[in-house]
């Protein structure tokens, strides 16, 4: 890859970004006013929305904060770094300062405890384009939780937002009170209320969590969602290998069990085998900036073109900051993407790699791929899976990956791996 090619790629990203920002600048003011009027009426009638917070109040705030269209390259909130987000796993032992957490043992079980809040905040989704988000611990996507199969995940949740929220986990949850829905347990939590959710981390896989207040589509698309990774326990895999494959138990040989155990270790952050794999979380999301029930911006991890190609200095170092920088990968390292679809309004989203085929594990619940040698997969909202890539035989350079709804790609969900 020559510097001319890098410059060309940077110019195209810049052009797409400019086009997106201009399109948003042209239309947000017009339709936002009308739509917000309607939203107020719908909101006050809906379960889970406090009467004092509906309609005009929220609308006025949106009015103040929209319409700041800065130059391309300008990101005003620098507290979210999409590159750092890729591999920030909150395990209880370590994670983000913004997520108080600890690990301890209780009744012989490992407990991973996290403190979560829901807050109203402003996030930047494209240069100069701000979005009034509702966010877990102030970020979209919410913090990634990582536990080992069989652990107890304890989330001390406090709602500091102006609307009523919950946390609903996509786990095999044995206690209906802990499901985080308006209809059960503590129901929705009003402003200032707290509740401690407890979930057993099961099954192994990559999972989703989100607010389940009504109207659901609003609470999700505003940003209340995130990823829970449940690492398989290699000892459990040895005892019950059939739980981790789609094959019939009679087809499972001793040699296969050994392979599954080895594979489980690469997925478990407490085993050294996991260090040999480069892991990242990508949440496909979207933003309806004018509240018309359709998305104007699509992204991998919130920022349009976050992993696009920006500028380099003469020595080949990226200079665009934490955004517009490809995901740099070592060609000799195995790559694992925990992919989650949080896209609202559109039925599906997708992940497509250029010049590359990959293995896919639907929901990440198996240790053998559910699809092999594919270059495109699709996911409906809340569907997720693990993608494993091998670039060892590829030449160094830029390899694109994006949603193969081409519309989504040009509206922000277009990214690159830089193989080095």
Residues that bind Cu ion (CB under 5 A): 165, 211, 213, 219, 224
- Closer CB to Cu ion, 72 or 167, in the complex: 167
362 closest CA partner among 334, 343, 339: 339
To the nearest whole angstrom, how small is the minimum distance from the Cβ of residue 192 to Cu ion?
A: 15
Residues with Cβ within 8 Å of residue 195, at least 6 apart in sequence: 157, 185, 186, 189
- Closer CB to Cu ion, 61 or 73, in the complex: 61
Q: Pseudo-torsion of CA 186, 189, 193, 199, nearest 10°?
A: 60
To the nearest whole angstrom, how small is the minimum distance from the Cβ of residue 27 to Cu ion?
A: 27
Among the residues of 251-405, which ranges form H helices?
A: 254-267
Taking the C-alpha atoms of residue 217 and residue 214, their distance in angstroms, rounded to an integer, is 8
Q: Which sign, positive or negative, has the C-alpha torsion 319, 322, 324, 326?
A: positive
To the nearest whole angstrom, how small is the minimum distance from the Cβ of residue 157 to Cu ion?
A: 11
- Closer CB to Cu ion, 17 or 120, in the complex: 120
To the nearest whole angstrom, how small is the minimum distance from the Cβ of residue 142 to Cu ion?
A: 11
- Closer CB to Cu ion, 211 or 237, in the complex: 211
**Rama region for 163: left / alpha / beta (φ>0; ψ in -120 to 50; rest):** beta
- Closer CB to Cu ion, 117 or 213, in the complex: 213
143 closest CA partner among 100, 193, 192: 100
Q: Which two tokens stand for residue 187?
A: 């129901």
To the nearest whole angstrom, how small is the minimum distance from the Cβ of residue 214 to Cu ion?
A: 9
E strand map for 137-224: 144-148, 152-159, 168-169, 194-200, 205-210
To the nearest whole angstrom, how small is the minimum distance from the Cβ of residue 339 to Cu ion?
A: 23
To the nearest whole angstrom, how small is the minimum distance from the Cβ of residue 52 to Cu ion?
A: 16
- Closer CB to Cu ion, 213 or 227, in the complex: 213
In sequence order, the β-bridge partners of residue 152 are 111, 200
The answer to whether the CB of 318 falls within 8 A of the CB of 383 is: no
379 closest CA partner among 415, 338, 417: 338
- Closer CB to Cu ion, 93 or 217, in the complex: 217
- Closer CB to Cu ion, 224 or 389, in the complex: 224
Give the distance, in angstroms, between the CA of residue 256 and the centroid of all CA atoms in the same chain: 32
Taking the C-alpha atoms of residue 85 and residue 276, their distance in angstroms, rounded to an integer, is 19
To the nearest whole angstrom, how small is the minimum distance from the Cβ of residue 302 to Cu ion?
A: 17
- Closer CB to Cu ion, 188 or 329, in the complex: 188
To the nearest whole angstrom, how small is the minimum distance from the Cβ of residue 165 to Cu ion?
A: 3
**What are the backbone angles phi and psi of residue 212, rounded to the nearest 5°?**
-115, 20
The secondary structure element, H or E, covering residue 135 is: strand 129-136
Report the half-sphere exposure of 337 (CA within 13 A, side-chain side): 24
């Amino acid at each position: 890859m020559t510097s001319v090619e890098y410059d060309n790629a940077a110019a195209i990203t810049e052009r797409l970004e400019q086009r997106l920002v201009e399109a948003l600048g042209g239309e947000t003011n017009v339709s936002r006013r009308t739509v917000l009027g309607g939203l107020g009426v719908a909101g006050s009638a809906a379960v889970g929305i406090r009467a004092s917070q509906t309609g005009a109040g929220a609308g006025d705030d949106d009015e103040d904060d929209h319409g700041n269209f800065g130059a391309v390259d300008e990101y005003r909130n620098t507290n979210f770094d999409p590159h750092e987000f890729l591999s920030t796993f909150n395990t209880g032992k370590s994670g983000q300062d913004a997520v108080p957490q600890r690990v301890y043992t209780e009744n012989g079980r490992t407990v991973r405890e996290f403190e979560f809040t829901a807050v109203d905040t402003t996030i930047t989704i494209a240069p100069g384009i701000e979005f009034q988000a509702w966010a877990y611990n102030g970020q979209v996507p919410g913090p990634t939780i990582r536990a080992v199969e069989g652990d107890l995940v304890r989330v001390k949740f406090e709602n500091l937002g102006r609307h009523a929220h919950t946390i609903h986990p996509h786990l095999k949850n044995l206690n209906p009170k802990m499901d985080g829905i308006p209809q059960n347990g503590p129901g929705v939590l009003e402003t200032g209320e707290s509740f401690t959710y407890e979930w057993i981390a099961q099954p192994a896989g990559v999972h989703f969590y989100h607010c389940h207040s009504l109207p659901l589509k609003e609470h999700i698309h505003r940003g209340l969602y995130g990823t829970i990774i449940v690492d398989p326990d290699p000892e459990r895999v040895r005892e019950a290998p059939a739980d981790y494959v789609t094959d019939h138990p009679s087809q499972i040989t001793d040699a296969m069990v050994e392979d599954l155990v080895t594979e489980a270790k690469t997925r478990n952050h407490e085993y050294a085998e996991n260090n040999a794999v480069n892991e990242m979380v990508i949440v496909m999301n979207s933003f309806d900036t004018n509240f018309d029930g359709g998305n104007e911006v699509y992204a991998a991890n919130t920022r349009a073109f976050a992993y696009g190609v920006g500028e380099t200095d003469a020595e080949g170092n990226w200079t665009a900051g934490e955004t517009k920088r490809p995901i740099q990968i070592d060609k000799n390292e195995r790559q694992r993407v925990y992919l989650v679809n949080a896209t609202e309004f559109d039925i599906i989203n997708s992940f497509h790699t250029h010049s590359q085929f990959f293995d896919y594990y639907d929901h990440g619940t198996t240790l053998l791929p559910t699809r092999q040698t594919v270059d495109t997969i699709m996911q409906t909202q809340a569907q997720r899976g693990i993608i494993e890539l091998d670039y060892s035989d590829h030449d160094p350079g830029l390899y694109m990956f994006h949603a193969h709804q081409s519309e989504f790609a040009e509206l922000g969900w277009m990214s690159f791996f830089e193989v080095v």
